[in-house]
Amino acid sequence: MLTDVKEIEIEHLHKEVWQLKRDGYRFVTMTCTDLGDAHDILYHFDLHYALKHLRLKLPRGTALPSISSQFFAAVLVENEMQDLFGIEVSGLAVDFKGRFMLSDGAPVAPLNKAPIGIGLDVRVKTPAPAEGVAQS
């Protein structure tokens, strides 16, 4: 079980992250779990080998503000979350647009739960049109 976890609302994310950075914490990583109607997102920070965590419950379909302007290393895991969970992350310093880890033909958001009673919904990524090439 995690200790030192602070539950936060999306509108306070940047303020809380800025406070941790100002206090000398370093960004470690983020984790995400699909809860069905929402995603449980945990931000993990370290100071002198002691971890502190922020927990954000993100309703499905809500864009997650990027913290990559405060901690650039977050750009990696935020792009990963876009690919694996289909979460839109707004304001990314570098946005791979869902092509960071998954290639053409890969399942879309493979770590999301299938809706109850619907069965597994396996959609796949289709190749992006090449720039300057007319589609027929």
**Beta carbons of 95 and 88 less than 8 angstroms apart:** no
Give yes or no for residue 120 having a pLDDT over 90: no
Domain boundaries, the chain: 5-77
* 97 vs 49: which has the higher pLDDT: 49
pLDDT tens for each residue of 77-86: 999 999 999 9
β pairing state of 64-65 and 89-90: parallel
- Give domain 5-77's CATH number out of 3.40.50.1100, 3.40.50.9100, 1.20.1530.20, 3.30.460.80: 3.30.460.80
Quickly count helices (H) and strands (E) in the chain. Answer: 2, 6
